[in-house]
A and B are shown apart, each in its own frame.
Chain A
């Protein structure tokens, strides 16, 4: 069974952000950073969706939305299409 990974997107309202650094400091995965005094998403793929930034943001400037579940492509017995002969995959 392959490991499923949830992905998240960050909605940032730059006009509301005052660059107080709370979200950057309390992010457990160091996803966020400050750039030109505003919050910036540096490593979006590392986000675990804990929403600590959203909860603590005093300016309502950041929001986490779940994008969906990404299933990494894998081939095992359960999802193999047996209609295709094995030698057809090699060319």
Chain B
């Protein structure tokens, strides 16, 4: 940790998250992964939206951008397109990414733009006192679902794969080392990478759903998470009620900014060679 302290804004710590909140663990995992890659502070941009998770960039000593609710990926797309040499990381929450920013999320995945998205999924809107989000598991209690949530929840990893992301992984705050490795791999992937980090919200989700302490919530992750390698040999009835962790998808494809630069170069060549007379370009023949 001492070698990664240079990436923190130490004067801003301790952070405002509740005691035992998993967002700190995820932020720590990100910083350790960046330390392993030894990235230059001035070449990294961290973008976030609104929510508990989106407080994270305030504690990190990179170029950071705290944007409007759900629009972190839209701002990040702009940053990446104007300065493709920068490493752009988006830290977002489950409500921010899947509810209000759901459209930005699927379209960023479709374009396969080189952004690493870390979705801190605490299954609830923590900052506004625990309303249920699209990621709240069925049956769980929230402020706006006092008798239990009747909606089905998103499977964010499968959504990202279907939308076209090229690296998808899932870790939890319990599996901190795995999470660090997944973020390490995601940062190296050239294309849209999604790491879903399942974290605990002891204040709202834990208290309302009678989980007890933070440790009980972490043990819940330990019991219900199955590594994707172990799941390959398990029967479907054993996997009922569990979720997969590990590297779920890794298939590099053409990246958006590279394709865009290629297109720009192609068009520039066509018009630079134009010396008057009959235009060769069919689109401008009028």
B254 to chain A: which residues have CB within 8 Å?
none
CB-based contact A60/B13 at 8 Å = yes
Interface hit among A14-22, A70-78, A79-87: A14-22
Q: Which of B156-181 contact A (CB under 8 A)?
A: 173-174, 176-177, 180
Given contacts A18-B20, A21-B213, A21-B214, contact A56 B13 (CB under 8 A): no
The yes or no answer to B25 lying at the interface (CB within 8 A) is yes
Q: How big is the B interface, by class?
A: 20 to 34
B174 to chain A: which residues have CB within 8 Å?
56
In the assembled complex, the CB of B56 is this many whole angstroms from the nearest CB of chain A, namely 11
CB-based contact B24/A26 at 8 Å = no
CB-based contact B2/A58 at 8 Å = no
The yes or no answer to B46 lying at the interface (CB within 8 A) is no
CB-based contact B218/A22 at 8 Å = yes
Residue of B nearest to A61 (CB): B14
Contact of A55 among B8, B17, B177, B202 (CB under 8 A): B177
The yes or no answer to B1 lying at the interface (CB within 8 A) is yes
Residue of A nearest to B28 (CB): A60
CA distance A16 to B8 in the complex (A): 13
Residue of B nearest to A24 (CB): B215
Contact of B14 among A15, A22, A54 (CB under 8 A): A15
CA distance A21 to B202 in the complex (A): 12
Residue of A nearest to B22 (CB): A58
Given contacts A16-B14, A22-B215, contact A56 B20 (CB under 8 A): no
CB-based contact B1/A18 at 8 Å = no
A61 to chain B: which residues have CB within 8 Å?
14
CB-based contact B214/A20 at 8 Å = yes
The yes or no answer to A65 lying at the interface (CB within 8 A) is yes
CA distance A15 to B213 in the complex (A): 22
Residue of A nearest to B214 (CB): A20
Given contacts A16-B14, A63-B2, contact A55 B215 (CB under 8 A): no
Residue of A nearest to B17 (CB): A58
The yes or no answer to B21 lying at the interface (CB within 8 A) is yes
CB-based contact A55/B23 at 8 Å = no
The yes or no answer to B138 lying at the interface (CB within 8 A) is no
Contact of A58 among B21, B180, B215 (CB under 8 A): B21
A20 to chain B: which residues have CB within 8 Å?
19-20, 202, 214
In the assembled complex, the CB of B275 is this many whole angstroms from the nearest CB of chain A, namely 63
CB-based contact A55/B20 at 8 Å = no
CA distance A61 to B13 in the complex (A): 10
The yes or no answer to B207 lying at the interface (CB within 8 A) is no
A-B contact pairs, 8 of them (CB 8 A): A16-B14, A20-B20, A20-B214, A21-B20, A22-B218, A26-B215, A57-B28, A59-B15
Task: List residues of chain B with CB under 8 Å of any chain A CB.
Answer: 1-2, 8, 13-15, 17-25, 28-29, 173-174, 176-177, 180, 202, 213-215, 218
